[in-house]
Amino acid sequence: MLKITKRATRTQLATSALTLAVTGAFLGPVANAAPPQPVVSELMEKALPDIPGKDALMLSVDYPPGAQDPVHRHNAYGFVYVLEGSIVMQVKGGKEVTLTAGQTFYEGPEDVHTVGRNASKTKPARFLVMLIKQQGAPALIPVK
């Protein structure tokens, strides 16, 4: 189950519920143990008055060892900054990259995020995500 830190906003609850539902749908029945889930925490959401209809959403994501995301998109400009550990990222049509602390990753509004996981089965990883998105739009949209 996703853990939510800070106070739970509607965006955060919707993101967490969607992530749980999508992860369950993609993984199906697993022998005896579900893989660890990412822990997503909303740090800030702010309307951008100079860019009508847009807001900025900042999240921290903690990947326990072995954690991974379902295939998804954001319909947003997404900027990732790795704080600790090592993560693997890929968007459709792009190369799979392994990132370590201090490295960055970008996803555009049309990108489908096909790979997102902790590179380690034994060590946690943590990163920040800044999304520039339509106001009121969900942070994560599942892709089948």
The boundaries of the domain holding residue 81 are 10-142
59, 131 contact by CB (below 8 A) = yes
* CA 28 to chain CA centroid, nearest Å: 20
Q: Residue 33: how many CB atoms within 10 A of its CB?
A: 6
CA neighbor of 118 nearest in space, from 40, 61, 78, 74 = 61
Domain count, the chain: 1
Maximum Cα–Cα distance across the chain = 51
* CA 72 to chain CA centroid, nearest Å: 9
Asked whether residue 2 is assigned to any structural domain, the reply reads: no
Q: Residue 105: how many CB atoms within 10 A of its CB?
A: 20
Asked whether residue 113 is assigned to any structural domain, the reply reads: yes
Asked whether residue 114 is assigned to any structural domain, the reply reads: yes
Q: What is the pLDDT along the chain (144 residues), one digit of tens a residue?
A: 334 355 555 555 555 544 554 445 444 544 567 789 999 999 999 999 999 999 999 999 999 999 999 999 999 999 999 999 999 999 999 999 999 999 999 999 999 999 999 999 999 999 999 999 999 999 999 998
| Pairing mode, strands 77-84 and 104-107 | antiparallel
